[in-house]
Amino acid sequence: MTEAWWVWIAAGLVLAIMEVALPGYIFVGFALGSIATGLLLWSGQWPAAWMAADITHALAVFAALSVVIWLLLRLTLGVRKGQSKTFDRDINED
């Protein structure tokens, strides 16, 4: 499993390309989570040995990283307080 680190990074790049094609911050958390999982496997540190034991461990790390990254991005890039309507008339109202 540790030899498959490049698969996680390739999957992250595919998800990043999907994010560019379908914007809306949907795939960016998964893309960064996948790349981070691949880098952990590549590094060979403690989580890599645990993740290499079984694919379910790697998927659990991927899911946890994706959720944390998505929440951090949501906090930094989400709707900002104080935003207001900047238009007076909608073209669809006529």
What would the pLDDT profile of 26-83 be if each residue is shown by its tens digit? Answer: 899 999 999 999 998 888 776 666 676 778 888 998 999 999 998 898 888 766 666 6
What's the whole-model pTM score? Answer: 0.74
Distances (CA, A) of 29 to 24, 42, 58: 11, 20, 16
Give the residue among 44, 18, 21 at the shortest CA–CA distance from 32: 18
Q: Is the pLDDT of residue 15 over 80?
A: yes
Residue spans of alpha helices (H) in 22-54: 28-43, 46-52
> For 5-9, 65-69, 88-92, which range has the lowest pLDDT when averaged over its residues?
88-92
